[in-house]
Structure 1
Amino acid sequence: MNLPAHQPRPLREGDRVALAAASSALPDPADLGRLEAGIAVLESWGLVVERRPLHQRSWGYLAGRDAERRADLTRAGEVGAELLACLRGGWGAARLLEHPLALPARWLLGFSDVTSLLWAQLAQGNAGGVHGPLLTTLAAEPPWSRERLRALLFGEPVADLVGLGWRGGVAEGPVLAANLTVATHLLGTPHLPDLRGAILILEDVGEAPYRIDRMLTHWRLCGALQQLAGIGLGQFSGCDEPGPAPEPGESAAEARPPRRFSLEQVLRERTGDLGIPILAGLPVGHEPGNGALPLGWRARLDADAGVLRLLG
């Protein structure tokens, strides 16, 4: 994978932030409070946030019709915003890629469903995509995570992310972070960045182990996993299944083993034979402690030391 040709400059105080509701609607009144809290974090960094009542917009389960949500993305250039921050995930961002959509080298912040936009931007040869907190999750992040995002956007050094080595070795290459489900549905499309020599960081939420198995098998069948230099595994929240309940008169220790695979068994089996370093347990995903990662930046995955380091 070649490094992106175009990169945005680091942010500085006074820079403008545009908002995008590219995915699901915000039906819960509590979402507004979380949104305001996230905006307050950005403003505390000296950024000027363009406030728009996007939380009021809906079309079915989406945050507005496709044209409205696509206009959020183009509006950033029209108002001279250096950062485009997405409100929430859910579903809908990939629909915006059905028609030509230029995603220039501008800071674009989000994760989960926003993976579609982050990867499409990189596939167009433009850096600036940051797999990190959404505006409705930012304020709930721990201090280290908020500071990591601020430092990354403002061009300052950031600390390593720490994980657990599953398969030893060291790999260097451009980092690609993604929600597994969303990225799987980009395979075979022009919005998939070059995977050759990349370090792929995956996370997901609410997917049973057999579904994780099915998606990773898809990656294997199309040869995508075999192109990578290294794999990092983040949070797979709510993706494991509980063990079987004891039968009447049977203790928990005597319960029959389940006829299923655990999440860890699936992840290890589907990646362990690729011959590349694997680092699990990274703080990336749907739970607080979602460490920001800039897509396309060169990184070193050291599974022996248990660290993922950005090299710039």
Structure 2
Amino acid sequence: MSSNFYQLPPLLVPGDTVKAIAPSGALKETAALEAGLNIWRSHEYKVKFGLNYNKRFGYLAGDDNIRRQALQDAWQDPECQAILCIRGGYGGARLLENWQWDLPSIKPKWIIGFSDVTALLWSLATVKIASLHAPVLTTLAQEPQWSQERMFNYLQTGKLDPLQGKTWQGGTASGILLPANLTVATHLLKTPLQPSFDGVILVLEDVTEYPYRIDRMLTQWRLMGAFARVKGIALGRFSRCEPYPGSNSWTVEEVLRDRFTDLNIPIVADLPFGHDGANAALPVGQKVTLDGDSGKLMFDE
């Protein structure tokens, strides 16, 4: 498994040790956490807990220092082969202020998560280290079997089957996959946590945002010229993004079409990832091909 642009951490092997940390919000879903842990254990991985997994500091899983220390300990632990984020919520960007990834002295390892974990995935992308946009521990048990197996298969073999969506704009483009939660990513623009958009296939999802807020965020991207170097756009689920009841509003699909389809790049929508449904694993930094004619996102080996 190789990349011309991003360094990929070593593949996992059953029996490896992985570590669970909470870089963002405080744990609420204890039963869901245990179910997710059991899935990792059923695949013969040894799961350790980071020092903050059950801490609370307001809505955060401990203050910034303890969450930063948990990430650092897991990153530097020579026995740990992957870092499993327990949940999203909010707070990942806070612990990354003045953060350094201790490269090249530390061998890269997988960081796995989505939603607020976008901040960690994008931070790693700034130093060209691949990671995995995939279910957190507290959502893993809700995934359909094919999605769970897709994640483990990728981590162990480096191979992924294509994903099928719906074509919005034709054409074909190849580039580096950059998945994100739209709201989190918008707040990372023009900060040290924003990776280069040069030649990327941008992959977006979101949850619980009114259509006008989606419009406002995407208009900010447009005003900044953020889409100028993007080669294609792949859209997942924008769940619970319905208009306010009784409002005179576009739907979220109408907003997305309005803000994207004049960019003259391939666009594929309705791919099976995001909140409130199947969340197919998407490797940050993997070279991919987006076929806007067939509606497929294909992963190069």
- TM superposition score normalised by structure 1: 0.90
- 2:47 is aligned with 1:45: no
Aligned partner of 1:13 in structure 2 is 14
- Decide whether aligned partners of structure 1 residues 78 and 157 sit closer, same or farther in structure 2, where only a CA change above 3 A counts: closer
Q: Quick check: 1:123 aligned with 2:126?
A: yes
Q: Secondary structure at the match of 2:39?
A: helix
Alpha-carbon distance between aligned partners in 2 of 1:148 and 1:118, rounded to the nearest angstrom: 19
Aligned to 1:189: 191
The separation in 1 between residues aligned to 2:236 and 2:114, in whole angstroms, is 13
The separation in 2 between residues aligned to 1:115 and 1:152, in whole angstroms, is: 19
Aligned-pair CA distance for 1:98: 1.0
Deviations 1:82-131 (A, max 9, x none): 1000000010000011122317621000000000000000111212x100
Q: Indicate if the aligned counterparts of 2:6 and 2:286 stay in contact, CA closer than 8 A.
A: no
Q: Does 1:279 align with 2:268?
A: yes
Residue type of the alignment partner of 1:9: P
Q: Deviations over 1:261-305 (max 9, x none)?
A: 111111001001001000000111012310010001000111111
Q: Which residues of structure 1 form unaligned runs of 5+?
A: 245-257
Equivalent residue number for residue 85 of structure 2? 86
Would the aligned equivalents of 1:18 and 1:75 in 2 still touch at CA under 8 Å?
no
Task: Name the CA distance, whole Å, in 1 between partners of 2:55 and 2:120.
Answer: 20
Contact conserved, 1:87 with 1:134, CA < 8 A, in 2?
yes
SS of residue matched to 1:140? coil
Distance in 2 of aligned mates of 1:17 and 1:211: 37
The CA deviation string for residues 49-97 of structure 1, in whole angstroms up to 9 with x for no partner, is 1145744310011000111111111112225211000000010000011
Counterparts of residues 29-108 of structure 1 (less than 5 Å) = 31-51=29-49, 54-76=52-74, 77-102=76-101, 105-108=108-111
User: How many Å separate the matches in 1 of 2:290 and 2:203?
Assistant: 10
Quote the residue 2:135 is aligned against: 133
Q: Residue 307 of structure 1: which of 268, 271, 296 is its match?
A: 296
Please tell me whether the aligned partners of residues 20 and 50 of structure 2 are also in contact (alpha carbons under 8 angstroms).
yes
**Any idea what SS the aligned residue of 2:138 has?**
coil
Q: Kindly indicate whether the alpha-carbon contact (under 8 Å) linking 1:103 and 1:126 is maintained by their aligned counterparts in 2.
A: no
- After superposition, the Cα gap between the structure-2 partners of 1:112 and 1:301, relative to the gap in structure 1 and judged at 3 Å, is same
1:121-152: CA deviation from partner (whole Å, max 9, x where unpaired): 0111212x100000000011000100110011
Give the SS at the match of 2:168.
strand
How big is each residue's C-alpha offset from its partner over 1:19-73, in whole Å with a ceiling of 9 and x where there is no partner? 11100112x3xx1111111111111112111145744310011000111111111
Q: Matched residues in 2 for 1:103 and 1:271: separation?
A: 37
| Secondary structure, aligned partner of 1:101 | coil
Using a 3 Å threshold, how does the CA distance of structure 1 residues 103 and 47 change in structure 2: closer, same or farther? farther
Q: 1: distance between equivalents of 2:273 and 2:45?
A: 25
Query: When the two structures are superposed, what TM-score results if normalisation uses the length of structure 2?
Result: 0.93
Q: Give 1:202's aligned residue.
A: 204
CA distance in 2, matches of 1:284, 1:160: 13
Aligned to 1:254: none
Distance in 1 between residues matched to 2:128 and 2:119, nearest whole Å: 15
1:289 — aligned with what?
A: 278
SS in 1 for 2:80: coil
Matched letter for residue 13 of structure 2: R
Coordinate RMSD, CA, aligned: 1.6
CA change 1:5–1:172 in 2 (3 A) is closer
Equivalent residue letter for 2:261: G
Identity %: 46
Number of paired residues? 294
The 8 Å contact of residues 20 and 53 in structure 2, kept in 1 or not, is answered as no
Alpha-carbon distance in structure 1 between the residues aligned to 2:21 and 2:50:
9
Cα distance change, pair 154–80 in 1 and its aligned pair in 2 (3 A): same
Separation (CA, whole Å) in 2 of partners of 1:65 and 1:229? 39
